[in-house]
Structure 1
Amino acid sequence: MGLPSFDSFSPVARHHVWCGDELGLADAQVIGTGHAALDAQLPGGGWPVGAMTELLQSAPEAHAWQLLLPALAQAVQGSTGPVALIGAPHEPFGPALAAHDLPVEALLWVRSEAPAARLWACEQALRCADITAVLAWLPQARVGELRRLQLAAAQHDALLFVFRPERAAQSTSPARLRLQLATCEQDRTQIDIRVLKRRGPPLASPVQLPARSERMAALLAGSQLRRKLRRQQEGVEPAAGTATVVRIEAWKGGVHALDRLAVAA
């Protein structure tokens, strides 16, 4: 007895059947990326909520803000909770982010070099109902650890973006969506975005987006300057095994309410 053909299903049943050669429908909420060319290639037309999106690139923070700022700005408008940055390589430059409609008060930067502390902080953030989104730089995370984060994101309907190095593309991942980001070799003003994993057929050609705007150039320049000044002032790095929540400079001054130290259990 053979399998039934697709045409034999009722119209309602067909809607719930995904064909491997078609772009799948989102099975949960999505938030638009803010980039029309990319939305057209993603199931549901945006970033999946309650699932992990994995971003692979050679430089940890090279294209993070250019890619994610529109969606993060949209997400915080409908939420009272912060965006948690776990292990971000550089301190975000508040004025430039605010100019892109992402207020500095909506950011929580957890600084740590220890892999275990980053994973702990990321999992705790995902379990917090007040967190709007989590951006985590986890270059050494293993598959089992990523599965725990994926489960935590699904249980609390959180946006989760995990940054890993390009070499991780050769390993398996529980991420719902995997993208590889790189500066276009033919045109350095563009980003090549290769879709490595999605619910749909492989994407033959990369999606291209502008590498940076004038505002983004100001963000990067300000971030580099502040990092240099901080190193000169502090002269020391945080102790291994700790995750430090750092005050990010406000748009017009003021004190951040989330200055505290969190130590991994």
Structure 2
Amino acid sequence: MTDPIHCPMLDQLFDRGQVWQRHQYSSPPAIDTGFATLNQHLPGAGWPAAGVTEILYPQHGIGELSLLLPSLAKLSQRELWIIWVGPPWRLNAPALAAAGVDVRRILVVSPAQNTGILWALEEGLKSGAASAVLGWPQQASSTQVRRLQICAAQHEVPCFVFRHQRPGGQNQQTPSALRLQLKPLSTDRVEIRILKQRRGWPAAPFPFTLQRCPAFRYPAGSTPSTGDAGRAGGLGGSGNK
């Protein structure tokens, strides 16, 4: 069999979600988000089960993690790890447990450098020991996201990449399976815009009401009061109360 011909212009169209290959017409495997309204807007009615979901947000604590809690609760029932790579705050294990997440299945990795975060994300996807991998890289090029997308697809693991939004960053071409942009509307509501999805076009933004946990994160500089919170790494920082 001959190798496929690589065309830079065609690669850009694939990354934008403007061209699909024949095998992509079948419904992609998806993970129920736990929110009927959100499922209705997503391809496959859920998060990509074998791909990268990028979540762009202007500031920490607007509810970006609340979107994942129902899915993480279900994934934590498996005998696998939910790997958190480079979270910018300490995890609050009691709050996660209150949301139904089994904190015994959480593994936190805290690389010092951005390259270490990207490396750990890729290794987590390849490990065969993860039900999901979450990461907070400071930067990620299109090539680096493509590597994560390929790993997630090959090993059939969902990967969630949280990215602090920079001006104009929503227009960046991306090879991820799904790319969302969040905008805070109030303390418990955000606007969700689907910037890119496989087998579909960017959609109009829609409001979404969050289900938040009390004490979702530790205030900056505070100390966890339980051993579990310390071992799990906590859901710390500020916001999301």
The answer to whether the superposition gives a TM-score over 0.5 is yes
Q: For 1:1-265, list aligned pairs within 5 A.
A: 27-77=27-77, 79-167=78-166, 168-184=169-185, 187-198=186-197, 199-204=199-204, 206-213=205-212, 216-220=213-217, 223-224=218-219, 227-229=221-223, 249-250=227-228
AA aligned to 1:229 is T
TM-score by length of 1: 0.71
The alpha carbon displacement at 1:104 in A equals 1.1
AA aligned to 1:218 is A
CA contact (8 A) 2:85 2:120 kept: yes
CA–CA separation in structure 1 for the residues paired with 2:102 and 2:25? 32
Matched position secondary structure for 1:119: helix
Instruction: Name structure 1 gaps, 5 residues minimum.
Output: 1-19, 231-247, 257-265
Q: 1:94 to 1:75 in 2, by over 3 A?
A: same
AA aligned to 2:223 is L
**Count of residues in Structure 1 that have an aligned counterpart in Structure 2:** 208
- Rg: which structure is higher? 1
Tell me the alpha carbon deviations over residues 37-69 of structure 1, each in whole angstroms, 9 at most, x when there is no partner.
110011110001111111001124532321100
The alpha carbon displacement at 1:149 in A equals 0.8
Instruction: Name structure 2 gaps, 5 residues minimum.
Output: 1-19, 233-241
Runs of 4+ aligned residues of structure 1 deviating over 3 Å after TM superposition are 24-27
AA aligned to 2:183 is A
CA–CA separation in structure 1 for the residues paired with 2:28 and 2:193? 23
CA–CA separation in structure 2 for the residues paired with 1:138 and 1:60? 14
Calculate percent identity across the aligned residue pairs: 35
CA–CA separation in structure 2 for the residues paired with 1:146 and 1:135? 13
CA contact (8 A) 2:64 2:182 kept: no
